[in-house]
Structure 1
Amino acid sequence: MITNSKESSANIVTQSMSVLDQRITQIRQQTFQLSQDNEIVDILLYPEEELSPVILGQQNSSFRRLLSLTAYNLSYIDDAYLSKTGSNSVRSYHNAKSNNDLTAADLASLYERVEDKRVYSWLVSDGDTYFIRRIIDIESNEEYGFICLKMNSSFFLFEGSSDFLSDEYITILNEDGNIMKEGSNSISKDWSAYFTQNDTKRYATYTNSIEYDQEKYVLNLANLENEEWVLIGVTPEANILSRITPIITSILIISIILGLLLTVLSNYMSKSIVANIAVIKDGIKEYEKGNFLNEIKPVNDDELGLLAIQFNNMGHRLDELIHQLNEEQEAMRNLEFQSLKAQINPHFLYNTLGSVRWSSFNKKEYETAAAIESIINLLRITIKNSESLITLKEELAYVTDYLTIQKMRYGEALTYSIRTDPDILGIEIAGFFIQPFIENSILHGFDFSERDGVIGIDCKGIGDHIQVTISDNGIGMSAEKVQELLSFKQNNDKRQGFNGLGIPIIYSRLSKIYKDDFTLDIHSVPNEGTIITIIIPK
């Protein structure tokens, strides 16, 4: 029983250590991505006093967007700061629950505690935990500045450990023996004081029974993988035994009852089992030869008889899947060939457009620079998220950048509006399915020589779904044309349209992600316009 107590306590400590390791890894990865982000580097390279109000506003908006995404993904972050080395300039982002704000002097004081050779470091100040990462150019080794994240109390909370090992019994020490998190119980304080005065590294993973104030405890030490930290857990043995003893007793009783039932049932079922096994065995041999359409005929209708019938159904299904797989592989080879034909180096375009953008700014060609910025945003989000889900906010930003570029071409002849419920902006959706419809409206739905074009985009939550409505006042389509466009739903037509992307392609992408839980409808009136309605789950 004591051994079980030790093992249970050790398992809880190991689970808590794994959770903390995962959080540390997330912090490292998120801050590394931020340190490599061109927008973050641009903020540090160009002083605020040298920037126009427009550029400064764009930089602040970009910083808040990047940091809000980081805080959204990592709920245990309260505050984030960006500071340039040797400067009093500080950009900050605060969680809605946070009411703290560090000054430039506070950040400088924290930064002085970071060793020169360390790219990142964990610090504790006034009971708060901070993570600081230096932003360094990989090629020149020049330091631009640093990112500082402040953790909230949930960073050191471990769900599911309260039954055996509550938070008050957990203490965490860093590689220097300093306390990162201290348990509030008196025995935790005593043991943390002992280990801060000794080399915790020499203990490695350690489990032992101890006695404190006439009560027995299980002491556990565990080293984290991603940091040279030690997690110390002190678990009252009574807590563990009170949970383990009823469980073991229940398991023994259930095991005995099940054993008796299985003995009776096995004798009863043995005759019918043997009768069908031979038939199924012969059928499997036929399957091994690739004869999936061979019918297995069961001797009786017991469970194995039903299994034999399922084998027959599976054989027919396998035969269908093999034919379908061959067709899909052929289609995939054609798609790969088309993809290879269309490939370019997107990173080269991104870097080149960035150079052109700054050149336009230097020449005070702000309208051109804004258009290039929209193109860069389109290219960046396409590179990063071409196959993944993105938030509705990112999708609408992508659409806005596209419409900004089109406004450069058509001027006042093209207007648009975007309306959405703020509550649904953070919901992840299938990306890049709105812009193709807008592009089709502009290229094929408007006759600008007759009248100006108006596009409306309306997104709202309806219960457990999101409704996206795209409308225009273009030339419209007849009912026959609409029916023709939607005919692929019945006959799997692969014809292309909508500037080469095609409704079937969009429908296929939504179908793969949402299965049958979405709708796509088109309503159009000649000479009045078209309304496209797409409903997807949240």
Structure 2
Amino acid sequence: MKNNAINYSENMLSIMSEDIYKNKEFLERASIELSMNEEIANNLINYKFMDGKEKNEFLKYMNDYLSKKLSLLPNLAEVEIISKDYEVTYMQGFKYFKREDIERYADESENGLFWFSTILNNEPHICIVTPVKQDNSIVGYVFMAIKSEVFASSFSLFNIGKGSEIFIIDDKNNIIISENNLNSNFILEETDLNKFLKDKGAKDTARSIVVNGENYVATYRKLKGFNWYIASMTPYDFINADIQSLRKEMTIIGLLFTLVVLIFSYFLYSSIKVPLYNLLNKMKRVSEGDLKVLVNDTYEDEIGVISDNFDSMLKRVNELIEKTKLQEVEKRDLEIRMLQAQINPHFLFNTLNSLKWTALMNQDYTVSEGLSSLAELLRNTIIDKNELVTIREELENIKNYVVIQKIRYGNSFDVQYEVDELLLENKVIKFILQPIVENSIIHGIDENKENQKIIIKIMSEEENILISIKDNGKGFNSKEKVKDNKLSGIGWNNVDERIKLTFGLGYGTTIYSEVNKGTIVKIVIPKSI
């Protein structure tokens, strides 16, 4: 029976001690937050130099600040901001602290936060003193007085029964707080209890004592973070009668606490997981090219802020893409309108046809053929707005171009075509071959050299089409020349980029050349798209 009583009392004090410690931590955080406020520290330094207006502004700031920060401290009785010279610069309460108490306890707190108990307005209070520091120097103090109920509320966690007592004492056995408002000399008057509590350093933290002829179990426990102790006196009769009930209560409390923790953990996990997974999923879709997705997160936490910024960024990206597309369309239309404004296509074709027939009448067949080819090239350039044409049409453009160039260069070169006819209806970018052939003619052909050829091959290569333009002309150092990025006035990168923009990064051009041996340009495009 004695062991049951002791275990009961020790468990009870352990739970109460933890609850008191939580309240202590909460109060300390509030006090430390005040002491670390830069506005408070600056005003403490300058307080004795401040005029009435500045002091009123400081009071207004403190009232506004404390009304927000200390609203969760219903048991707060007094807050005082004290200068280093022990002058009260701010007070909220009833001016409980005396000058001598302020000086005494301020000095005690110089090594850190200090707790003490006192009687204010005939009621027990728990007080905290926290030094205010700036650059590791003390510039003032924060005094907070809290009604004893803030700790005494922990006593109500258990029904200690009739005749039981719970109290908090300091290291000198002075009663700070008690369940039933015990006289501060109560311990001194009870010989057994006084003797037991004087030996608080011993391993024996529980003992049977006799008070007024009745058997009690007396236990004590050091409060974490304090130089204080919580002690209890519990009648044997109550412990034996209530031990079974206690076990049930503790089991129920434990289960309820576990349930609350699980529910809280679930909601906490869900509040993080759901929006985070949603955000990651939308980011993945964006990385795959879908720029139309929106997170639409309604949460107001950090993930919600990130989601809102992500949505804003996507909206801006889409706006820029649409703006770029519109600008490209407008630019193309403008170029066409400018070209059409400069010269009437029909007038140009009619003029070329007239010149062609004039050349035929004069039996100048070379000029006639050149004018006919030029007319076709201009028709495909001005009238046909399609970016993609068939390989058959592109070859016709090249043949017309070659006819015109042969008029200029004579028969100093010849062009051969080796084309897989099954590929003629596949699509290719219009005029993608012309700048490469032009480059071979202008920079590759040596007019003093005979039997110069340009060979255009178009063949199938698995799922792709391989086009090669090869000449046996002058050639060049490909590493140095490619750096110049020029192909007959049109950037080689421009040709390569047009292919990549149209068909994808897996397609494009490659140049191989060797001095005095010739040049070959290879183009890889997909089959019909």
Q: TM-score scaled to structure 2, two decimals?
A: 0.43
Q: TM-score scaled to structure 1, two decimals?
A: 0.42
